[in-house]
Amino acid sequence: MTSMLTRAVRNLPAASTWAARFSVRSLSSSSQLQAAAESKSKKTLTKSGVKNIVVVDGVRIPFLQSGTSYIDLMPHDLARAALQGLLYRTNVPKEAVDYIVYGTVIQEVKTSNVAREAALGAGFSDKTPSHTVTMACISSNQAMTTGVGLIAAGQCEAVVAGGVELMSDVPIRHSRKMRKTMLGLSRAKSMGQRLALISGIRPNYFAPELPAVAEFSTGEIMGHSADRLAAAFAVSRAEQDQYALRSHTLAKKAQDEGLLTDVVPFKVPGKDTVTKDNGIRPSSLEQMGKLRAAFVKPYGTVTAANSSFLTDGASAVLIMSEEKALAMGYKPKAYLRDFVYVSQDPKDQLLLGPTYATSKLLERAGLTMADIDAFEFHEAFAGQILANMKAMDSEWFAQNYIGRKTKVGAPPLEKFNNWGGSLSLGHPFGATGCRLVMAAAHRLKKGGGQYGLVAACAAGGQVNKIAGQPPPNRSLHVWAWERGSHGGDQKTPAYSLLLSVLSGSLAQSSPSPLEEAGSPSSSLSPCSAVALVCAVIILSLNPEDPACGDAGWPV
């Protein structure tokens, strides 16, 4: 596979061309985006007979580098803080929430169902069911789509979904031999049996077992995969450093301008209140260039500076049926329409999921790259992002690997992760998905775009993507799920999220109460909508959505 990917380089844009795209012009959003969106044809992602589901709002506590202010806490403490922040932001009555779903990757054994413990700690009723899901770096995406499924099936009207990760205190186990001995001691019925077990203990029994860093199915560390992928697509060290610097610069700008409105303050017990992410550190290419290879030594191109860092954090979003949200007087951020999951070879395509998922989602939605105004991709590694861009921009890759006659096209940088990404904001494995969705929704609302797309790769070669549409100045999300992994083919999913903002009318999946009431379009106020496709998520904004403004949505 690697050799075949290397051959694709002949058909990819020259390195100098890609380097030019990381110039200063990409550090701020283009002022022409809104005008371009208004000139585009109006498209919708509606499905007859499908219940309208919306994201009311979402929050996250500050994402911090592991080993800092959250070091003395437990995962459920962070998740509880996110839930409390969501309650404060939305003012939703706790009894109105029917279900709570949380995603996490490295589970704390004392709180195996972290969703339940966090919910109880946040003051939710003990009658509110809660469960935890895990799907590597797209765990909170899985939590959100699970919530959508519960609402679509008529089981719930309001679901809280979120994610949490605490890398400051990961579970460390005794060795397997020591565990076996200890269990034997607990079952021993006589002193002789106990002494026999104790006498069999050897020094190597005391070596601890750390959480696995390598992929279980391949035995390879993800950083090695990123380095090989960068080499296969001829992504240079300079390009990776330049992209990473871009991420930190944009994140710093967004933070200083108060654009990261999903962040809520968290009073850490016994410490000060944390109000902002602490991993944003714009440096210089000269300083970044001094770092040594982190994985493939000594000649690898992936370093600590162009990789996402270990992060502590938690996030939460409130998802409702449209009727429920309307009845409670909410002005949601997005409609949830569609989502897809795809799976790829975990060895050589571990981080290429967004390429496959983007192609699949756009085809499902009847959209092209030109229709997307806001891209939010998870930045595991700078090399992973750039390799996916080159793959999406390659006719050869499209024909030989995706089965397309033409390439899907690479996202333009002026629309891509404009407020920073995981390289700078941080990546708490289980919580990143919610951040991506809310970032896309807020960007669409602020920029007046039409569609947004969110994508994220995950361990095991998994990917999720989502697509959506919003009315003027309101964000809404939409999902449709399709799995591409099959038991025996060793393929795993990938994730991408497509968001959209419609400058025209937003047709509803089913008539909204406001449509049935004959609300005039002239009374509309700006709104935004979001659609999610697992492996791909789409969001959109629609100025003419009948469910806006004086017609029913609170302004």
Catalytic residues: 137, 457
Considering only CA atoms, which of 103, 152, 90, 170 is closest in space to residue 130? 103
Helix (H) / strand (E) containing 28: none
Considering only CA atoms, which of 150, 149, 118, 148 is closest in space to residue 132? 118
Considering only CA atoms, which of 118, 151, 214, 124 is closest in space to residue 459? 214
Tell me which DSSP letter residue 135 carries: B
Considering only CA atoms, which of 487, 496, 489 is closest in space to residue 342? 496
Query: Is the CB of residue 159 less than 8 Å from the CB of residue 144?
Result: no
Those residues with Cβ within 8 angstroms of residue 36's Cβ, 6 or more apart along the chain or in another chain:
373
Considering only CA atoms, which of 388, 377, 456, 453 is closest in space to residue 139? 456
Helix (H) / strand (E) containing 491: none
Q: What is the largest CA-CA distance in the chain?
A: 87
Name residue 439's amino acid.
A
What does the alpha-carbon distance between residue 109 and residue 99 come to, in Å, rounded to a whole number? Answer: 22
Q: Give 167-201 as a DSSP string.
A: TTS---BPPHHHHHHHHHHHH--SHHHHHHHHHT-
What does the alpha-carbon distance between residue 431 and residue 59 come to, in Å, rounded to a whole number? Answer: 11
CA dihedral 367, 371, 376, 380 (to 10 degrees): 60
Q: How many CB atoms lie within 10 A of CB 321?
A: 19
What's the N-to-C CA distance of the chain in angstroms? 53
- The alpha-helical segments, DSSP class H, found in 393-470 are 395-397, 422-425, 432-447
What does the alpha-carbon distance between residue 199 and residue 196 come to, in Å, rounded to a whole number? Answer: 5
Query: Is the CB of residue 355 less than 8 Å from the CB of residue 392?
Result: yes
The 3 state secondary structure assigned to 253-317 is: HHHHCCCCCCECCEECCCCCEECCCCCCCCCCHHHHHCCCCCCCCCCCCCCCCCECCEEEEEEEE
Residue 480's DSSP bridge partners are 533
Helix (H) / strand (E) containing 456: strand 451-458
Question: Which residue do the tokens 């940088």 mark?
Answer: 413
Those residues with Cβ within 8 angstroms of residue 27's Cβ, 6 or more apart along the chain or in another chain:
246, 249, 250, 253
